A and B are shown apart, each in its own frame.
Chain A
Amino acid sequence: MLNWIVLVVGLALIGLFWHFISPEERKKETHIVAGVFLVLGVVVYFLQSTFV
Chain B
Amino acid sequence: MSTEVEKKTNSSGDDFQYEPVPASQRKTWYDLTFVWFGAAMVAQLYQAGVSVTIGTGGLPTGLQSILIGALFLAFFTALNGFIGYKTHCNSALSSRYAYGSLGVAIPGFHIADIGWYVVNAAMFCSILVSLFPAVDVRVWCILISMLFITNNYVGFSKMVILNRFAFPVLLITGLYGIYRCGQMPGGFGAIWSATYPQTMTVNAGVAMVIGTWAAGCSRAADYMRFAKDAKSSFIASFLGFFFGFCLCIVCGAIWGAATGTSVIADTLSMLGMVGLGALMFFLQNWATCEHSSYITSTSLPITIEVVTKKRVPRRFIVLGVGLIAVCISGLDIQSYYVPFCSFLGYLIPPIAAVSIADYFILSKTKYHWTGHKNYYDMDVNSEDVTHHKFNWATVPALIAGLLLGWKLNWGISSVNAFVGTVVVYTVASLILYAAGMQKKEVARNEALAARR
Give A residues with C-beta under 8 Å from B: 2-3, 6-7, 10-11, 14, 17-18, 21-23, 26, 30, 33, 36-37, 40-41, 44-45, 48-49, 52
In angstroms, Cα B146 to Cα A17, docked, is 11
Q: How far is the CB of B159 from chain A (nearest CB, A)?
A: 10
- Find chain B residues with CB under 8 A from A10 CB: 139, 143
Structural contact, B142 and A11, CB atoms closer than 8 A = yes
- Find chain A residues with CB under 8 A from B336 CB: none
Q: How far is the CB of A29 from chain B (nearest CB, A)?
A: 9
Structural contact, B136 and A49, CB atoms closer than 8 A = yes
Structural contact, B153 and A41, CB atoms closer than 8 A = no
**Closest residue on chain B to residue A36 by CB atoms:** B323
Q: Does B161 contact A (CB under 8 A)?
A: no
Query: Can you list 27 A-B pairs, Cβ within 8 angstroms, ordered by A?
Result: A3-B136, A7-B139, A7-B142, A10-B139, A11-B142, A11-B143, A17-B150, A18-B153, A18-B154, A21-B150, A22-B154, A22-B155, A23-B155, A33-B319, A36-B323, A37-B323, A37-B326, A40-B326, A41-B146, A41-B326, A44-B326, A44-B327, A45-B136, A45-B138, A45-B142, A48-B331, A49-B136
Q: Mark B35-59, 1 if CB is under 8 A from A, else 0.
A: 0000000000000000000000000
In angstroms, Cα B136 to Cα A43, docked, is 15
**Closest residue on chain B to residue A18 by CB atoms:** B154
In angstroms, Cα B143 to Cα A11, docked, is 6
Q: Mark B140-158, 1 if CB is under 8 A from A, else 0.
A: 0011001100100111100
**Closest residue on chain B to residue A13 by CB atoms:** B143
Structural contact, A6 and B139, CB atoms closer than 8 A = yes
Seed contacts A3-B135, A6-B139; 6 additional CB < 8 Å A-B pairs:
A18-B150, A26-B154, A37-B326, A41-B142, A45-B330, A48-B138
In angstroms, Cα B136 to Cα A7, docked, is 10
Q: Does B322 contact A (CB under 8 A)?
A: yes
**Closest residue on chain A to residue B328 by CB atoms:** A44
Closest 7 CB pairs of A and B: A10-B143, A41-B142, A3-B136, A7-B139, A22-B154, A21-B156, A3-B139
Give B residues with C-beta under 8 Å from A: 134-136, 138-139, 142-143, 146-147, 150, 153-156, 319, 322-323, 326-327, 330-331
Query: Which among A6, A22, A26, A44 is the interface contact of B330 at CB below 8 angstroms?
Result: A44
- Find chain A residues with CB under 8 A from B136 CB: 3, 45, 49
Structural contact, A14 and B155, CB atoms closer than 8 A = no
- Find chain A residues with CB under 8 A from B155 CB: 21-23
In angstroms, Cα B319 to Cα A10, docked, is 18
Q: How far is the CB of A49 from chain B (nearest CB, A)?
A: 7
In angstroms, Cα B326 to Cα A52, docked, is 15
Structural contact, A14 and B143, CB atoms closer than 8 A = yes
- Find chain B residues with CB under 8 A from A26 CB: 154
**Closest residue on chain B to residue A38 by CB atoms:** B146
Q: How far is the CB of A20 from chain B (nearest CB, A)?
A: 9
- Find chain A residues with CB under 8 A from B143 CB: 6-7, 10-11, 14, 41
In angstroms, Cα B144 to Cα A11, docked, is 9
**Closest residue on chain B to residue A21 by CB atoms:** B156
